[in-house]
Amino acid sequence: MLIVQKYGGSSVADTTRMENVAWRVIAARQAGHDVVVVVSARGDTTDHLMEEATQTNPNASKREIDMLLTTGEQTSCALLAMTIQGLGAPAVSLNAYQAGISATSAHTSARIKAIDCERIRTELDSGQIVVIAGFQGVNRRGDLTTLGRGGSDTTAVALAAALHADICEIYTDVNGIYSADPRIVKNAIKLPEISYFEMLELAALGANVLAKRSVGLAKKYGVKLVVRSSLNETEGTIVKEEVKMEGIFISGVAVDKDITRISISGIKDEPGVWFKVFSIMNKGNIPIDFIQQTKQDIGTKDISFTVAKNDLPDAIAALNGNTHRLGFDAISHMDGIAKLSVVSTGMATNPGVPSLMFEALFDAGINIDSISTSEIRASVLIDISEADRAANLVHEKFRNGKYIKE
Amino acid sequence: MLIVQKYGGSSVADTTRMENVAWRVIAARQAGHDVVVVVSARGDTTDHLMEEATQTNPNASKREIDMLLTTGEQTSCALLAMTIQGLGAPAVSLNAYQAGISATSAHTSARIKAIDCERIRTELDSGQIVVIAGFQGVNRRGDLTTLGRGGSDTTAVALAAALHADICEIYTDVNGIYSADPRIVKNAIKLPEISYFEMLELAALGANVLAKRSVGLAKKYGVKLVVRSSLNETEGTIVKEEVKMEGIFISGVAVDKDITRISISGIKDEPGVWFKVFSIMNKGNIPIDFIQQTKQDIGTKDISFTVAKNDLPDAIAALNGNTHRLGFDAISHMDGIAKLSVVSTGMATNPGVPSLMFEALFDAGINIDSISTSEIRASVLIDISEADRAANLVHEKFRNGKYIKE
C-alpha cells in the first residue's frame, strides 16, 4: 500500500511528540507500506511568525508573508526527517519546490494546481520515507504561496490523489469525527464512518477536525480519508463516498459560536438587492447564512444575515465600499448568537429529522431566532448562552431515537 | 550604478538594526542606484538551528541539516523586505530557487556554480529593491545546499560578478580592514585600500572580517569590494586589484591564536612522506603550516606542522586512517602557540620587511619557535602568552618606520 499520513502542528510540537510521530511512520514502513508524510509547522510557529510579520510591518505584502510562513513547515519537515533517521530508518524531507507542488498565485490563500510526483516516486522507489512540508506551493513565477487555513490537510489529500495513494490518514489530537463536539456534548459518539457530503457540512458548521476544502478535494478525487489520533491506537473515522444507509442516521450535531449578524437598514426596496449583496460577499469569498428581511413602509427594507466573526471586518468594508450601489442608511452588527445544526444525508427524504430538533428545543423552552436548511442539514439561530445546553438536548433526542450511529 | 550590499547576522539581529539596514538600502536606491541586498540569518539563528539539529539527531544527514539551516536566511530576507516595504520602498525577497543560485551538491560546504540572473534583473527593472538569502544554493537535484563559513560573503561576491555590479559592499560591525586587529593592537590603522592578494593572506591568517573564499572569488572576477560598518558613515576599505604602490607598505599584522601543532613520531624516513601527508590533509581540505622535521638515527624521523584548532579532529582522524600508508609510532598535539604574521605585496622585492619583524621580536626578548613565509607574508610561531604584546611591538615598529599606510 501507499499511505499518505498527515500530522498537525500539535503532533510535532516538541521532541517527544516528534519521536512519537517518527515511530508511527516507521511502523507503517516496517509493515511494508510506502509512506509519504505531510507535516505542519510545529506548535504555534505559524502564529508566532505571523505576529513577527505584523510587528515588522502591519501592511507587509502577502508575498513576503508567505516567504516567511513557509519556513515553518520547511523546519518541521527537516526535523522530522532527522528524527526518523535517528531511529534508524531512511528519510528525506521535501519542500514545495522539491515535491513539485504547483499552486495558484493567491498569496496566503492559494490553491494547489498540480503535483509533479517524479521526485517523490524516485525517493519512495529508493526506500525512503518521504516527509513533505504541508501548507505550501510554488506559483508560476517560482514564488512560494501558502494554502490558508487547513492547508496541510489539503496538501495531504492532494498528494494522496496525485500519487493514487490507497489511503490518506489525517492524524490529530482527537480520536476521530464525533456526533457532536465532545467538549460540549458529553454523550457524543465517535462515528465509525461518514460520507464526504456529511463531513463537508459538518466542517462548514464549525467541526474543526478537518478543513472543508480538503474534504471537497477528497470527494472530487475519491481519496479515502481516515481521521484518527496521533496519541493512541484507537481506530478513527473513515470518510468516503458510500456509507451504509441502514435507516436514517444523524451524523452530527454542530455548534458554531463564532458568528455574528450584520444588519443593513434603509436599503432600497427594489429587485436585485440580494443579488448585489451576494455578489459583493462572494467577491470577498465571505459565506453568509440566515438571510432575513423586513419591509418598511417608505419604499425601503431592512435586511440581515450572519457571517463568521473572522469575516466581519472584510464584510463591513466590502459593504461600505458599495454604499452607492446598494443605497442604504446604516450598517450594524450584533454578537451573542450561535448556530446549532444537525447534519444527515437521510434528511432530504425524511422531514421528520429536522422536526425532532425543533421538538427538543421547544421542550426545553429555547427560543429559535431563525432557521436555515440545506439538502442535508438543518440549522437554527439561538442565543449563545443556550447553545451548549441546546446541543446536548438535541443530541440526546436523536440518540434516544436511535438516529445516531453507534 | 548597480550595487550589491551584504549585511551579516549581527546587522539584522533585531528590529532596530533591521530598520537601520533598511534605511541604508533605501538611501542607495534614492541616490538612483539599483540595489541588490544579501542577508545572513539573524543573530545566532544558524548556531541555534545547528544546536537543534544536533539535539534531534547528532548524525542527521547533511542534506537535512542544510534543509533546516536555509530557513534562517529565508526568514531574514523576508523580514528585511517587509521592513523596507514598511518604510515606503518597494522590495522583494528571493531565496536560492528564486534568485537562480546553482551550487554543488557538497552539503554544508557547497560552492556556487552559476547564477541565472533573469528573475533578479526583472525585479530590478520593475523598480524593486531585491533582497536575497545568503549562504544557500540549489544543487542539480533541486536540493538546498549551504556554502559553509562566510557563505553570505560568497553569495554577495558571486552575485556582484554575475550581475556585473559596479561595487560589492560588505557591511560589518567594524569600520573596515585594519593594519592589525584593533582589539589587540591599540594603534591599529584602518586601511583606505588593500589588494586582493594581501586581503587573501590576511583572511587566511585570522583576520575574520572577510571570508577567504569570497576574496578569492572577487579577485577571479575583478569584483570591487568595499568593507565598511553598518553602524556609521565612515568610509571603509576598498579591496581591489591595483593598489597604489608608493614605496613599501605593510598592509597588516595578523595574530592567529586558534592553531595547534600536530607531531608525528617514528615516521619512516623515506622519500614521499611529505607528499603523503600533504595529500591526506588536502583530501580533508585541511591547510597546514610551519612544517618541521627532525631525523632520528634509526631510519625514522619526527615531523610536525600546525593546523587550525577547528580542523584538529578531522586531521587526527585522517592521519589515523592512514597509519599503514605512513607507518608511524604515535601522534600527539600541542596547544599554547600563536601565529604572528605581516602581510605586504612589497615584501617579495624587499627582504628588509621581514627582518624588521625579527628585530622587533628580538628587542623584546620574544622567542621565535619557527618561521614560515610566502611571497607576500612572513609568519612566526611564538608562545601564545606573548602574542598580543608581540603584535603591538611589531605593528609599532612598522608604523614608526612609515611602513603602515595612513
Mean pLDDT of B17-28: 97
Instruction: Confirm or reject contact between B143 and chain A (CB < 8 A).
Output: yes
**Looking at beta carbons, which pairs linking B345-353 to residues 24 or more positions away fall under 8 Å?**
B345/B195, B345/B197, B345/B198, B345/B243, B345/B245, B345/B251, B345/B376, B346/B245, B346/B247, B346/B248, B346/B249, B346/B250, B347/B248, B347/B375, B347/B376, B347/B377, B347/B378, B348/B375, B348/B376, B350/B248, B353/B248, B353/B250, B353/B378, B353/B403
Residue B92 belongs to what H/E stretch? strand B91-94
Chain A residues touching residue B119 (CB < 8 angstroms): 141-142
Q: At what angle do helices A212-221 and A196-204 cross, to 10 degrees?
A: 160
d(CA A141, CA A356): 54
Neighbours of A188 (CB within 10 A): 20
Q: Around A40, how many Cα atoms within 13 Å sit in the side-chain half-sphere?
A: 26
Going by C-alpha positions, the residue among B37, B70, B377 that lies closest to residue B205 is: B377
Going by C-alpha positions, the residue among B71, B67, B4, B73 that lies closest to residue B35 is: B4
Instruction: Confirm or reject contact between B95 and chain A (CB < 8 A).
Output: yes
Instruction: Confirm or reject contact between B306 and chain A (CB < 8 A).
Output: no
Tell me the pLDDT of chain B averaged across its residues.
90
Q: Which of A56, A61, A78 shows the shortest C-beta gap to B64?
A: A78
Yes or no: say if B299 and B268 are a contact pair by the CB < 8 Å rule. yes
Instruction: Confirm or reject contact between B121 and chain A (CB < 8 A).
Output: no
Beta-bridged to residue B250, according to DSSP, are B404
Mean pLDDT of A230-251: 79
Yes or no: say if B120 and B36 are a contact pair by the CB < 8 Å rule. yes
pLDDT of residue A406: 66
Yes or no: say if A186 and A388 are a contact pair by the CB < 8 Å rule. no
Yes or no: say if A248 and A353 are a contact pair by the CB < 8 Å rule. yes
Q: Which of B56, B74, B83 shows the shortest C-beta gap to A56?
A: B83
Instruction: Confirm or reject contact between A57 and chain B (CB < 8 A).
Output: yes
d(CA B229, CA B234): 7
Mean pLDDT of B245-274: 81
pLDDT of residue B246: 52
pLDDT above 70 (res B244): no
Tell me the pLDDT of chain A averaged across its residues.
90
Contact A71 B68 (CB under 8 A): no
Mean pLDDT of B18-38: 97
Neighbours of A285 (CB within 10 A): 10
Q: Which residue has the higher pLDDT, A362 or A248?
A: A362
Contact A97 B59 (CB under 8 A): no
Chain-centroid distance, C-alpha A398: 25
pLDDT above 90 (res B307): yes
Confidence of residue B245 (pLDDT cuts 50, 70, 90): low
pLDDT of residue B243: 64
Residue range B331-346, pLDDT digits in tens: 999 999 999 998 887 7
Q: Which residue has the higher pLDDT, B198 or B259?
A: B259
In angstroms, what separates the C-alpha of B227 from chain A's closest C-alpha? 28
Contact A82 B56 (CB under 8 A): yes
Where on the phi/psi map is residue B50: left (φ > 0), alpha (ψ -120 to 50), or beta? alpha
pLDDT above 80 (res B271): no
Mutation test of the interface with chain A: which of B71, B119, B123, choosing the one with the most A Cβ atoms within 10 A?
Answer: B71
Q: Which residue has the higher pLDDT, B3 or B187?
A: B3
In angstroms, what separates the C-alpha of A61 from chain B's closest C-alpha? 7
d(CA A401, CA A38): 40
Instruction: Confirm or reject contact between A22 and chain B (CB < 8 A).
Output: no
Going by C-alpha positions, the residue among B284, B283, B289 that lies closest to residue B262 is: B289
pLDDT of residue B207: 64
Confidence of residue A248 (pLDDT cuts 50, 70, 90): low
**CA end-to-end span of chain A, whole Å?**
29
Where on the phi/psi map is residue B266: left (φ > 0), alpha (ψ -120 to 50), or beta? left
DSSP letter for each residue of A237-292: EEEES----SS--B-EEEEE--EEEEEEEEEE-STTHHHHHHHHHHHTT---EEEE
Nearest CA in chain B to A54: B82
Sheet containing strand A377-383, strands side by side: A252-256, A337-343, A377-383, A370-374
Q: Around A124, how many Cα atoms within 13 Å sit in the side-chain half-sphere?
A: 21
d(CA A84, CA A68): 26
Yes or no: say if A199 and A255 are a contact pair by the CB < 8 Å rule. no
Query: Which grid coordinates belong to A97?
Result: 519546490
Mutation test of the interface with chain B: which of A14, A26, A50, A57, choosing the one with the most B Cβ atoms within 10 A?
Answer: A57
Q: Which residue has the higher pLDDT, A80 or B303?
A: A80
pLDDT above 60 (res A80): yes
Query: Which grid coordinates belong to A328?
Result: 442604504
pLDDT above 60 (res B73): yes
pLDDT of residue B354: 80
d(CA B81, CA B92): 6
Q: Which of A56, A141, A144 shows the shortest C-beta gap to B86?
A: A56
Query: Which grid coordinates belong to B137?
Result: 544554493
Task: DSSP letter for B105, please.
Answer: S
Yes or no: say if A242 and A185 are a contact pair by the CB < 8 Å rule. no
> Strand A129-133 relative to strand A34-39: parallel, antiparallel, unpaired?
parallel
DSSP letter for each residue of B284-340: TT---EEEEEEE-TTSEEEEEEEEEGGGHHHHHHHHHTTHHHH--SEEEEE--EEEE
Residue range B138-197, pLDDT digits in tens: 999 999 999 987 899 999 999 999 999 999 999 998 899 988 888 889 888 888 888 898
Yes or no: say if A155 and A38 are a contact pair by the CB < 8 Å rule. yes
Counting every residue, how long is chain A? 406
Chain B residues touching residue A141 (CB < 8 angstroms): 119
Query: Which grid coordinates belong to B156?
Result: 554577495
Is A368 in a helix, a strand, or coil? coil
